[in-house]
Amino acid sequence: MIAQQIIFIALFITASLLFAKKIRQLRRNIFLGRKEDLSNNTAQRWRNVMLLALGQKKMFRNPLVAIMHLIIYAGFIIINIEVVEIIVDGIIGTHRVFSPYLENIYTFLINSFEILAVGVIFVCVIFLFRRNIVRVKRLASKELNDWPKSDANYILITEIILMSLFLTMNTSDQLLQARGHTHYLPTGQFIISSSSLTSLLGNFNTNTLFILERSAWWIHIIGILAFLNYLPYSKHLHIVLAFPNAYYMPLTLKGTINNMPDVQKEVLYAMQPELAPTTIEATTHHKFGAKDVVDLNWKNLLDAYSCTECGRCTAACPANITGKVLSPRKIMMDTRDRLEEVGKNINKNGTFIEDNKSLLRDYITEEALHACTTCQACVQECPVSIDPLSIILQLRRYLVMEESSAPSEWNAMFSNIENNFAPWKFSPDDRDKWMEA
């Protein structure tokens, strides 16, 4: 027993340290972005957490899918409460340590977990079917080929395995209780494992059941610890990041674009020259827009790590629907991939060493950026409050204001605004001539 405790503690500490190390790296990567103060109106922010992250309000636009997703979500959160008991048992060498203290509540809790476990298995099978057999359009896009598709399947299969191990463990436990095996104290009847599943294992001898229960217990907890360390490398990191992402979502009206004071002053001076300073002010040039991930703000980078790759943003994007190359989902995936590349560069060198790459062009094309109509559909549809448009606008702002790279139609408009103070090609003095007709 002591040897098992030592092995368990060693595994638990190792998994926890590896997870903590990766989370520190993710936090560092996120805060490579520019500072942004999003701490105002805490009451509204907590409401967003409850409604969007915990309540999954936006998911319920499609009630059937929302309910299935909620079952998996609840299963992940609630069933893993049972992991606390497993960890305590593993460390101190007990079995179902909470059972004597919780009495009748314990049986109710395990029964709730079992019902959820069956629900999770059922829904995961449906989601696998939708992804791989039915091939729902937004889940079968070429941008999900290779790793993104495999990642989604791995998680669903892992959930099925973990829930099956949980039920196998409980079923073996119930049979061992009935046979009076040492350490397997009575806990009451479990709704799933005490009925339909006991007939599958009832013919096994006691020693086989003991090995099966212990094997299921060990594989279950090792699987959870492995899943914990897989999570930061997966799109399913949104399970954790959906909460801070909902809290820090901008509270300004949709469509609000951050103005640049330096540019505002120049426009003001052009419109009202008398306000311009008589002496040239010494100013430091600030980069307009963003070329790479470090030019974005930290919330943009948190968005990138929070993306679920569900594709609802792309499915609602009018540019994408009409066949243009823009995909808001790919914008987020590319931002995350570039951020991970920058993070690995820092891990290797201690500080970032120029690699002659950038988010703009190496990951996201000008064509995709110029295709955006800024309609806000992607922002509206995202279930975890991600804002692809903010990234698009900052990259596009860099193109236009730093590189003077814009479609010819835009350049004509810019020229008219500069010369005529309006988008149209006629003198400001003639602006009201239409009224004379």
List the chain domain ranges: 2-30+62-238, 261-436
CB 156 within 8 A of CB 127: yes
Give CA–CA dist 335/391, Å, rounded.
9
pLDDT at position 283: 56
Per-residue pLDDT at 266 exceeds 80: no
Q: Which of 166, 207, 209 is nearest to 190 (CA)?
A: 166
Find the helix packing angle between 104-129 and 147-178, rounded to 10°: 150
pLDDT digits (tens, 9 = 90+) for 181-230: 878 888 888 888 877 677 778 788 889 999 999 999 999 999 999 999 99
- Is this prediction's pTM over 0.75? yes
Give CA–CA dist 44/248, Å, rounded.
10
Residue at token pair 């239409």? 434
pLDDT digits (tens, 9 = 90+) for 112-132: 889 999 999 999 999 999 989
pLDDT at position 377: 94
